[in-house]
Structure 1
Amino acid sequence: MNSFTRRQFFTSGSHLLGGAALTSLFSQSLANAAMSHKASGPHFAPKAKRVIYLHMVGGPSQIDLFDYKPEMMKWYDKDLPDSIRNGQRLTTMTSGQARFPIAPSKFQFSAAGQCGMMMNTELLPNLAKKADDICWMRSLHTEAINHEPAIAAMQTGNQIGGRPCLGSWASYGLGSTNENLPTFVVLVATPTNREQEQAISSRLWSSGYLPGEHAGVSFRSKGDPILYINNPPGVPDSVRKRTIDGLNALNELNYQQLGDPETATRISQYEMAFRMQASVPELTDLSKEPEHIFKLYGEDAKKPGSFANSVLMARRLAERGVRFIQLYHNNWDHHSNVGGRMPSQCKDVDQPCAALIEDLKQRGMFDDTLIIWGGEFGRTIYSQGGLTKENYGRDHHPRCFSMWMAGGGAKGGAIYGETDDFSYNIVKDPLHISDFHATVLHLLGFHADRFSFKTQGLDGKLIGINPAKPVKALMA
């Protein structure tokens, strides 16, 4: 017996149910499928038209960067009090330790800007000069204690994989402003120090249950910027175009028969790929960037794949209408050798991040471009393993961590949230990652509780079922 799907039954057997009624229903289903691929549009005028999200993979140590704890100098090598830990579960990397010795930061902190933000000015001198442009958040928290669920939660709002990420939601909601480039692009920068990198994969920039066209498109730093974007040897553009036209004609027939939204996605992606053959080479060619721009971003800006080069590429993408640029920078998982690795990590990001703010200002893009910087959780005040004044390690810490935003409606110079003397518990203005997501969506013009996509009979949302609200204190 031949297999016969439910969709095929309703498509070809309309005479069984009444031609007029089924035709009406089928036409509506096609219309709904087509509409699902279009931008829903903002709920209100957005302050940010685009996002550059700089994710520090591994969990940057808030204690060594943005959460100044001078009292900890008196606690050097003393055990973390049980009253501070308060029964919090630990990772298996430190749960078996006999002691939890306090490890104060070895780096120099000082007040930056008119806002007086106390930060690591020793390793982040350029970023410190932009303190009044930055919205500082020191009280983020999450339930996830290990990397895989924590990164998934930060990127998709859920510790379980398969949900749409923030970039896909932005793509779906805002739509495209450049038909020759994707609305959502992913860049992966190579850190100078590669001592302990975390694995990341395309699941982090998946469109989940949103239409496939809203998934992130990963750009590479070596070889073809996008795999298979160029024609095979001996195949001219004219032949490639005829091939794509033929495939699209077949896909169109299939779409008319079955109404599968993914077929519509395939049609649009084939066409996008052909158009990108002309737009991507111009985009990735930095030879026309003036020398003062390379000086602004630092000497590594000419080095493909470096963080500086990737941030400059992110600016070029934003300039050309890409809605969401996700940039990953690895090796922030500092279980050991904080003293040796933190300077290298900060050197990678300090000048390029400050340069991005300045560059966007010069181009009149700062006010409507939201920059996000941060990781998936924080680090512990106590040392993992051995402890010396020159070297120590820190385990994962989800109870409090720091991030920052700039531009795009974020409130420059704001310092939000406080933690206790041990940077272990939040004592003022807790900021759950769902509230952070709601704030980002608000800056993009969306009510987080109303911005949804129908999936399996439910209204799927970035914030899930959490009663998340945007935080007004973070917005200008």
Structure 2
Amino acid sequence: MLNRRQIIQSALAGAPLINSQLFADSAKKAGPHFAPKAKKIIYLFMAGGPSQLETFDYKPQMKKMFDKDLPDSIRQGQRTTNMTAGQSRFPIAPSVYNFKQHGQNGTWVSELLPKTASMIDDLCLIKSMHTDAINHDPAKTLICTGNQLPGMASLGAWLSYGLGSINPNLPNFTVLNCAKWSGKVNVQGLYSRLWGAGFLPSHHQGVNFQAMGDPILYLSNPKGISRNQRKAMINLSDSLNQEHFNKFGDPEIQTTMAQQDMAFRMQKSIPAVTNMSAEPDHVKALYGPEVNIPGTFAYNALQARKLIEADVRTVQIFHRGWDHHGHLPKNMAGQCRDVDHACYGLIQDLKQRGLLDETLVVWGGEFGRTIFSQGKLSQSNYGRDHHPRCFSMWMAGAGVKKGLVYGETDDFSYNIVDKPVHIRDLNATILHLMGLDHHKLSFPFRGLDMRLTGVEPAKVIKKIINS
């Protein structure tokens, strides 16, 4: 029972102490609502908004409309960003890249993604994604946390809260930020709130691995401090924290104790799971030539497989540089080269180890790009503005139908004409595949039952799920 002093202290500090105590009871009930099809997830986030027109949404009719204005009947008065709002024209820019049909269903894939094309029968391609936000920050925050405003819990944090941990010696939710990528212009920032816990207890937040030095900050003991000394320090800290908890009852004190103990255990578990030298050359070859360079997407993709194999539930890789307002053909080629081989390697490696049957893999960014050019247009050079009305993503692995193309856009890749999928639907589907009902997965905060999918309608995309 909280006394008046504790309640006042909680209110002044802005801490959801009462809600945290409610969590202390509900945390014991963590587990799926029904039998899951996937136990783990790897989310490959292409930050900046990859162009669907240069990857998966083939529009051959646009070649005949080069430099013609986008018809008003297609644009329908849609607002644009400030970057193109002042343009007097919206000239159509057909993709300069060729597409070919691949797989049993003849799925069209760009020449920029040859390795991805070769495994298209393993993927479920969704071409009818759409979102509410037109700028990067709110769009990334929305797809990662279910809300455009900061302060909400991320997908990985919700999975940790709803399902609990598999391996007590490793973080339940890990984040791998690529420090190296081909595109060096219009690089959007990444913020810890994209993998944060928000209003959930803080131990559910993602643990960000570093590209250089210790994989996790302060993993190594300071010089002159032995492991036995470190353990003695943690034991003393735990005893003092326990006294403080007995007095005030704040469950965040228990979170601190648990995280300190986890950090101590990780000093043994993390070096083992991040040791790339143990991987044979034939496995590394699956991921491409950059697999040995820390900070690359290929390196992180192999690291993701190792973490999944070690029973980390959620791994999220962020790869930046996809914001192509100008010089798109050149920059897009480099970005696709960064990820194409490694995506292929990741799927094949998971498959050969029997891990793909229990692991869901998701690829995509925060929105798509416009068919019209931003700025100057030529036969070989153009840029594309942000486009939230339609974009492409793919999923693979546990519970997802293989070789399926779901949804369709119009001839301009501007509006969805069949099977629209909002990002709330995507998140609801991911939760469903992990055994969680998005209506039931909630947390009391500020008088509301907070959910990843919010209060607006969201539906599970049942037609992409194996029965």
Pick the TM interval, shorter chain: over 0.9
Pick aligned residue for 2:304 from 314, 324, 329: 314
Equivalent residue, structure 2, for 1:128: 117
- Counterparts of residues 458-469 of structure 1 (less than 5 Å): 458-469=448-459
Equivalent residue, structure 1, for 2:174: 185
Residues 30, 259 of structure 1: 8 Å contact kept: no
Between the aligned partners of 2:419 and 2:388, the Cα distance in structure 1 is 16
1:37 positional shift: 4.2
Residues 21, 250 of structure 2: 8 Å contact kept: no
Equivalent residue, structure 1, for 2:224: 234
Residues 153, 159 of structure 1: 8 Å contact kept: yes
Pick aligned residue for 1:375 from 334, 351, 365: 365
Gaps of 5+ in 1: 12-27
Matched, 1:149 2:149: no
Matched, 1:394 2:384: yes
Equivalent residue, structure 2, for 1:205: 195
State the secondary structure of the residue aligned to 2:357: helix
Equivalent residue, structure 2, for 1:162: 151
Pick aligned residue for 1:271 from 261, 264, 269: 261
Task: Give the AA of the match of 1:7.
Answer: Q
Task: Give the AA of the match of 2:5.
Answer: R
Task: Flag the 1:221–1:30 CA change in 2: closer, same or farther, 3 A.
Answer: closer
- Counterparts of residues 291-370 of structure 1 (less than 5 Å): 291-370=281-360
Equivalent residue, structure 1, for 2:396: 406
The worse-fitting range, judged by mean Cα deviation, of 399-408 and 31-40 is 31-40
Task: Flag the 1:36–1:235 CA change in 2: closer, same or farther, 3 A.
Answer: farther
Residues 385, 392 of structure 1: 8 Å contact kept: yes
Residues 229, 277 of structure 1: 8 Å contact kept: yes
Instruction: Kindly provide the CA deviation profile for residues 89-123 of structure 1, in whole angstroms up to 9, marking residues without a partner as x.
Output: 10000000011110000101011101221110x11
Q: How many residues align?
A: 456
Instruction: Kindly provide the CA deviation profile for residues 422-454 of structure 1, in whole angstroms up to 9, marking residues without a partner as x.
Output: 100011111011111111110000111111111
1:8 positional shift: 6.9
1:36 positional shift: 4.4
Task: Flag the 1:29–1:429 CA change in 2: closer, same or farther, 3 A.
Answer: closer
Task: Flag the 1:389–1:38 CA change in 2: closer, same or farther, 3 A.
Answer: farther
1:457 positional shift: 2.3
Between the aligned partners of 1:328 and 1:36, the Cα distance in structure 2 is 31
1:256 positional shift: 1.5
Between the aligned partners of 2:379 and 2:206, the Cα distance in structure 1 is 43
Task: Give the AA of the match of 1:123.
Answer: L
Stretches of 4+ aligned residues off by more than 4 angstroms: 8-11, 28-33, 36-39
- Counterparts of residues 18-167 of structure 1 (less than 5 Å): 32-38=22-28, 40-120=30-110, 122-167=111-156
Residues 21, 251 of structure 2: 8 Å contact kept: no
Task: Give the AA of the match of 2:309.
Answer: E
Between the aligned partners of 2:297 and 2:429, the Cα distance in structure 1 is 26
Between the aligned partners of 1:194 and 1:256, the Cα distance in structure 2 is 52
Pick aligned residue for 2:243 from 253, 256, 277: 253
Between the aligned partners of 1:9 and 1:372, the Cα distance in structure 2 is 44
Task: Give the AA of the match of 1:6.
Answer: R
Instruction: Kindly provide the CA deviation profile for residues 112-166 of structure 1, in whole angstroms up to 9, marking residues without a partner as x.
Output: 101221110x111111111111010011111100000000000001000110000
1:196 positional shift: 2.6
1:340 positional shift: 0.6
Residues 36, 211 of structure 1: 8 Å contact kept: no
Instruction: Kindly provide the CA deviation profile for residues 182-231 of structure 1, in whole angstroms up to 9, marking residues without a partner as x.
Output: 00000001213323311001111110111110000000010111111211
Between the aligned partners of 2:260 and 2:279, the Cα distance in structure 1 is 30
Between the aligned partners of 1:162 and 1:472, the Cα distance in structure 2 is 30
1:257 positional shift: 1.5
Superposition RMSD in Å: 1.7
Task: Flag the 1:97–1:31 CA change in 2: closer, same or farther, 3 A.
Answer: closer
The worse-fitting range, judged by mean Cα deviation, of 451-460 and 126-135 is 451-460
Task: Flag the 1:117–1:39 CA change in 2: closer, same or farther, 3 A.
Answer: farther
Between the aligned partners of 1:353 and 1:331, the Cα distance in structure 2 is 17
Between the aligned partners of 1:455 and 1:344, the Cα distance in structure 2 is 44
Between the aligned partners of 1:29 and 1:386, the Cα distance in structure 2 is 54
Equivalent residue, structure 2, for 1:7: 6
Pick aligned residue for 1:441 from 413, 427, 431: 431
Equivalent residue, structure 1, for 2:165: 176
Task: Flag the 1:9–1:68 CA change in 2: closer, same or farther, 3 A.
Answer: closer
Residues 33, 260 of structure 1: 8 Å contact kept: no
Residues 185, 219 of structure 1: 8 Å contact kept: yes
Instruction: Kindly provide the CA deviation profile for residues 297-340 of structure 1, in whole angstroms up to 9, marking residues without a partner as x.
Output: 11100111110000000000000010000100000001011111
Matched, 1:288 2:278: yes
Between the aligned partners of 2:254 and 2:92, the Cα distance in structure 1 is 57
